[in-house]
Amino acid sequence: MNCFYHPEKTAVGLCKFCQCGLCSECAALVDDVLACKHRHEDEVHQLEQFTARNFFQSKRVASAYYRNATFYSLVGVLFAGFGAIQYRFLGLQAVFFIMTGLFLLYAAIANYLEGRKQK
Ligand SMILES: [Zn+2]
Ligand SMILES: [Zn+2]
């Protein structure tokens, strides 16, 4: 079978969402399954979240939540820190940064709690 997007290339697998053949260039790994790169990555992720019900997969989902939590908290601290440092110069704009940072920290906590629920 050949790639759906590159008929001249051999497919390495199928997109879990649309079942199209994908070459190594078009294949994106989402939650350990293949997806059309830049096309169905989000769809496959949703699909995996939805179907991840058994023990082994729920563990995988929990680690994804923790990964999100780490990412959000890092970006959140960056935003809030930047806003706090720049407050004297940016004024209202800095408040916007701080708010965004706080929101991201909130998202981090929500993800962390959600990850704990998965165990
Ligand atoms: Zn696809
Ligand atoms: Zn391709």
Provide the residue range defining the domain that includes 30: 13-49
- The predicted model scores a pTM of 0.47
Query: So what's the pLDDT on residue 7?
Result: 94
Render pLDDT for 56-115 as a digit per residue (tens, 0 to 9): 555 667 888 888 899 999 999 999 999 999 888 888 889 999 999 999 999 999 999 988
Residues 43 and 64 occupy one common structural domain: no
- Positive or negative CA dihedral for 116, 42, 60, 58? positive
6 CA → ligand 2 middle, Å: 4
Residues 70 and 94 occupy one common structural domain: yes
d(CA 32, CA 24): 15
φ, ψ of residue 117 in degrees (nearest 5): -65, -25
Q: Which amino acid is at 115?
A: G
Whether residue 32 lies inside any domain: the answer is yes
Residues 30 and 59 occupy one common structural domain: no
Q: How far is CA 101 from the centre of its chain?
A: 18
Residues 94 and 108 occupy one common structural domain: yes
Half-sphere exposure of 98 (CA within 13 A, CB side): 12
Whether residue 6 lies inside any domain: the answer is no
Residues within 5 Å of ion ligand 2, judged at the Cβ atom: 3, 5-6, 23, 25-26
54 CA → ligand 1 middle, Å: 24
47 CA → ligand 1 middle, Å: 12
Render pLDDT for 27-43 as a digit per residue (tens, 0 to 9): 999 988 999 999 999 99
